[in-house]
Structure 1
Amino acid sequence: MTLQTEYEFTLPKGYVDSEGNLHRSGIMRLANARDEILPLEDPRVRRNEAYLLVILLSRVITRLGDVRDMNPGVIERLFASDLAYLQEFYNRINGNGSSKHAIVCPRCDEKFEMELAPAGEF
Structure 2
Amino acid sequence: MPTATIAGAGLRTEYPFVLPRGFVDEQGTVHRDGVMRLATARDEIGTQTDPRVRQNPAYLTVLLLERTLVRLGTLPEVDTLVVECLFASDLAFLQDLYRRINQHGHTEVDVTCPSCGHGYAVELSGGGPGEG
Normalising to structure 2: TM-score of the pair? 0.79
**Is 2:71 the partner of 1:60?**
no
Deviation at 1:113, TM superposition (A): 6.1
Match of 2:106 among 76, 98, 103: 98
| Distance change (3 Å), C-alpha of 1:19 and 1:84 | same
Contact 1:29 1:62 in 2 (8 A): yes
Deviation at 1:99, TM superposition (A): 2.3
| 1:116 aligned partner | 123
Contact 1:62 1:68 in 2 (8 A): no
**Is 2:56 the partner of 1:44?**
no
Deviations 1:35-87 (A, max 9, x none): 11101111111100000000100000000000131111110010111001100
- Following superposition, which runs of at least 4 residues in structure 1 exceed 4 angstroms of deviation? 101-106
Contact 2:109 2:124 in 1 (8 A): no
| 1:25 aligned partner | 33
Q: Alignment length, in residue pairs?
A: 121
| Distance change (3 Å), C-alpha of 1:82 and 1:103 | closer
| Distance change (3 Å), C-alpha of 1:103 and 1:17 | closer
What is the alpha-carbon distance in structure 1 between the residues aligned to residue 113 and residue 27 of structure 2?
A: 49
RMSD across aligned C-alpha pairs, in angstroms? Answer: 2.5
- Where structure 1 has 5 or more consecutive residues not aligned to the other structure, the ranges are none
